[in-house]
């Protein structure tokens, strides 16, 4: 009987050790499985985000290709650095087309690396010619903005300038913009 008893005790001890191992191992395994599934779920979410970004990138690339020709035209509205004379010539031309006499002065800038250049444009002529000048200026191929307009009626003839009494003398401060530097552009 002693052998039977030893077998029972040994079987009981093995069963207890087995149950302890199961109660310890099962929660451990469940935690490991839970962590692995969380990691897998996180990777799945990351993958979904990457796929969405890929779709968006493709869409943005198509949109960029569609607008690229128009975007390249934008640089044409800026004055190239060192070629402000082109803008001055354009101002003189539209003054002539609108029937105005013109005097153009480049205004001093305090900043050396400025992105624009300011002009003081003095015009003499009839009011309707000033309106034409502003309309031409608005349609000029260069990007510009009129900051100040001063208009005065001429009270007496000025034969040196060919201005008659009743016409107007106007001063416009016009800002024209240089082409942005390459480090500010997106390629």
- Residue where one domain finishes, among candidates 21, 43, 76: 76
Digit-coded pLDDT (tens) for 8-38? 888 888 989 888 888 888 888 888 999 999 9
Provide the number of structural domains found in the chain. 2
Picking from 45, 76, 107, the residue at the C-terminal end of a domain is: 76
Instruction: For residue 174, give the CATH number of its domain.
Output: 3.30.70.60
pLDDT tens-place string over residues 98-142: 999 899 998 876 665 568 888 999 999 999 999 999 999 998 888
Q: What's the rounded mean pLDDT across residues 162-185?
A: 75
Beta bridge partners of 176: 117, 144
Q: What is the pLDDT of residue 187?
A: 43
Question: Is the Cβ–Cβ distance between 92 and 102 less than 8 Å?
Answer: yes
Residues 99 and 122 in one domain: yes
pLDDT of residue 94: 94
Task: Count CB-CB contacts under 10 A for residue 142.
Answer: 16
174 and 156 in one domain? Answer: yes
Residue 71 and residue 104 in one domain: no
- Asked if residue 176 lies in contact with residue 87, where contact means CB atoms within 8 angstroms, the answer is yes
Same domain, 162 and 127: yes
150 and 96 in a common domain: yes
For residue 30, what are the domain limits? 1-76
Q: What confidence score (pLDDT) does residue 185 get? A: 45
Which residue is listed with tokens 């800038």?
109
The pLDDT score that the predictor gives to residue 113 is 57
Residues 103 and 179 in one domain: yes
One domain for residues 36 and 102: no
**Does residue 186 register a pLDDT over 50?**
no
Same domain? 63 vs 22 = yes
- My answer on whether 90 and 68 are in the same domain is no
> HSE of 126 in the Cβ direction (CA atoms, 13 Å)?
5
3 and 38 assigned to the same domain: yes
Share of the chain above pLDDT 70, in %: 88
Is the domain of 88 the same as that of 178? yes
186 three-state secondary structure: coil
Q: Mark which of 31, 51, 76 sits at the end of a domain.
A: 76
In terms of Cβ atoms closer than 10 Å to its own Cβ (0-12, 13-18, 19+), residue 133 is buried
Least Cα distance to 139 among 80, 183, 184, 77 occurs for 77
Asked if pLDDT for residue 63 goes beyond 70, the answer is yes
DSSP 89-158: HHHHHHHHHTT-EEEEEEPP-S-TT-SEEEEEEEEEE-HHHHHHHHHHHHT-SS-EEEEEEEEEE--S-B
Q: Are residues 173 and 119 in the same domain?
A: yes
Q: For tokens 């779920």, name the residue.
A: 41
């Amino acid at each position: 009987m002693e052998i039977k008893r030893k077998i029972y005790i040994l079987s009981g001890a093995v069963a207890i050790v087995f149950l302890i191992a199961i109660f310890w191992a099962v929660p451990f395994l469940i935690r490991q499985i839970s962590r692995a599934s969380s990691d897998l779920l996180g990777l799945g979410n990351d993958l979904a985000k990457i796929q969405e970004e890929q779709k968006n990138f493709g869409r943005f690339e198509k949109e960029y290709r569609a607008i690229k020709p128009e975007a390249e035209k934008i640089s044409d509205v800026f004055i190239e650095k060192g070629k402000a004379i082109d803008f001055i010539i354009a101002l003189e031309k539209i003054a002539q087309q609108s029937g105005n006499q013109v005097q153009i002065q480049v205004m001093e800038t305090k900043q050396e690396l400025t992105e624009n250049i300011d002009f003081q444009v003095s015009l003499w002529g009839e009011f309707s010619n000033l309106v034409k000048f502003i309309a031409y200026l608005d349609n000029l191929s260069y990007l510009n903005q009129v900051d100040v307009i001063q208009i005065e009626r001429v009270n007496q003839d000025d034969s040196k300038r060919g201005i008659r009494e009743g016409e107007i003398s106007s001063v416009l401060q016009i800002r024209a913009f240089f082409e942005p530097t390459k480090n500010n552009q997106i390629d």
